[in-house]
């Protein structure tokens, strides 16, 4: 019985630590509003190898409003694999090779992403 109390205590502490970063609110404030997330579009889709497609980033606020931030200096675009697709500083994506890739936009610490496939021409 004594073995279970320390195990329970350790499990409780681990659960509290793991859950501490999972709150529903954001510390990021933009234009005086709390940021609730970033949405990257066009949404799950395909892109032909060699083709280009403009992606967009939209910051979502806790009050239900939103703002386009695709070309904002505060938006940083990234690709999960530059061997499959590249992305410019303003969200223009180019298919380089066949495969699956994530394109993400990080706006003031809030990140959104889009997963898609690059297909043969």
> pLDDT by residue (tens digit) across 35-82?
999 999 998 689 999 999 999 999 999 999 999 999 999 999 999 999
In a domain, 53, yes or no: yes
In a domain, 96, yes or no: yes
Determine which of 25-29, 89-93, 110-114 has the lowest per-residue pLDDT on average: 25-29
Closest CA to 56 of 114, 7, 15: 114
In a domain, 47, yes or no: yes
48: β partners? 119
Domains held by the chain: number: 1
In a domain, 3, yes or no: no
* Residue 15 phi, psi (nearest 5): -65, -40
At residue 28, the pLDDT reads 87
In a domain, 16, yes or no: no
At residue 31, the pLDDT reads 85
In a domain, 1, yes or no: no
Range of the domain at 32: 24-119
In a domain, 17, yes or no: no
Which CATH number covers residue 53?
A: 2.60.40.1080
Q: How many CB atoms lie within 10 A of CB 82?
A: 13
In a domain, 11, yes or no: no
């Amino acid at each position: 019985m004594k073995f279970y109390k320390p195990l329970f205590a350790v499990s409780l502490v681990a659960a509290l630590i793991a859950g501490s970063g999972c709150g529903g609110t954001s510390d990021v404030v933009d234009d005086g509003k709390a940021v609730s997330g970033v949405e990257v579009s066009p949404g799950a889709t395909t892109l032909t190898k060699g083709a280009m497609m403009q992606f967009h980033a939209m910051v979502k606020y806790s009050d239900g409003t939103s703002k386009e931030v695709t070309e904002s200096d505060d938006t940083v675009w990234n690709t999960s694999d530059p061997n499959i697709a590249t992305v410019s500083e303003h969200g223009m994506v180019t298919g380089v090779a066949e495969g699956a890739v994530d394109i993400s936009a990080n706006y003031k610490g809030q990140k959104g992403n889009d997963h898609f496939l690059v297909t043969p021409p």
